[in-house]
Amino acid sequence: MQAVRSILVVIDPEHSESLALKRAKLIAGVTQAQLHLLVCDPKHDHSGMLGVLKAALLQDGYNVTTEQAWNQSLHQTIIDVQQAEGCGLVIKQHFPDSALKKALLTPEDWKLLRQCPSPVLLVKTAGSWKDKVILAAVDVGNTDPEHSHLHDTIIDHGFDIATLAKAHLHVISAHPSPMLSSADPTFQLSETIQARYREQCKSFQAEFDIDDDHLHIEEGPADVLIPFMVHKLQAAVTVIGTVARSGLSGTLIGNTAEVVLDAVESDVLVLKPQEIEDHLDEIAGKH
């Protein structure tokens, strides 16, 4: 987060009180990142509104540029501009779709999460992050190198946000229910599963100074536990990873990040493994 030099802020012209811009100003105020304001609209001219926003931001000392663009769809337009401007973070306000619409069409924000090479912060709340909980959700049961690196990235970003917002970092990992049929005796008892998961967390606990009170290892499915813990801790931001599945399986199943998006009462920062970011960068570059 501290390394982000340029932030793409998606401005919805129908909602002039932009929650996305509010968050972008908070981050840019600490990191000195440039703000690139984008309106995605093929029909109406919004240069007047963008001019007013730009003038106010320049007066407040921000480095800001503006653009209106459209290429086929909302998510594609955002990704095109993210690539062209080299933005290291996309911030957009999230407006939930109805269950029926979700069943028929993949929501634009899901497509953005799957296909955008950079981290995406979807803003859902207007409240301050200060003194609140930042909840980083990791899956420590997955110990392959890609997931391990993603866990570090998630906690690193959570730590960064907690630092810049003067907030408190908590970490959650869901673990499976005990299975008597498991070949590994560790997975036959809840206590031994807990112990193994806690062992996996020791290295990042030491690195980011996370004590046991701020680490939550809970039994159950992640897409149920994460919203429960967000509500319990009154978290302001949930930091989560996505494996960016595309194609039919992704459409039918949805990632935990996508399922959690509408279920949590917090802003959501979604990150991807480096290899997937690089791959998506490559695809977007050819587009």
Q: Which domains does the chain have, with CATH numbers?
A: 6-93 (3.40.50.620), 133-284 (3.40.50.12370)
How many C-beta neighbours within 10 Å does residue 251 have?
13
CA-nearest of 139, 173, 143, 137 to 269 is: 137
pLDDT reported for residue 103:
67
Q: Pick from 268, 271, 256, 284: which is nearest to 149 by CA?
A: 271
**pLDDT attached to residue 286:** 66
Spatial distance between the Cα atoms of 76 and 61, rounded to a whole number of angstroms: 31
Contact 177, 141 (CB under 8 A): no
Is residue 54 within 8 Å of residue 33, measured between CB atoms? Answer: no
pLDDT for 33 equals: 95
Per-residue DSSP letter, 220: S
Per-residue pLDDT of the chain (287 residues; tens, 9 = 90+): 767 899 999 999 887 678 999 999 999 999 999 999 999 999 999 999 999 999 999 999 999 999 999 999 999 999 999 999 999 999 999 987 777 776 677 789 988 988 898 999 999 999 999 999 999 999 888 777 777 788 889 999 999 999 999 999 999 998 877 766 566 766 677 778 888 888 888 888 998 899 999 999 988 889 999 999 999 999 999 999 886 555 444 444 457 888 889 899 999 999 987 766 777 777 777 65
Q: How far apart are CA 43 and CA 231, in angstroms?
A: 40
Cβ-based neighbours of 247, under 8 Å, separated by 6 or more: none
SS3 190: helix
- Structure tokens belonging to residue 68: 């209106």
pLDDT of residue 257: 84
Using DSSP bridges, classify how beta strands 89-93 and 64-69 pair: parallel, antiparallel or unpaired: unpaired
Angle CA(146)–CA(148)–CA(153) in degrees, nearest 5?
95
The pLDDT of residue 247 is 47
Tokens of 101: 């619409």
Element (H, E) at 276: helix 274-286
pLDDT score recorded for residue 182? 62
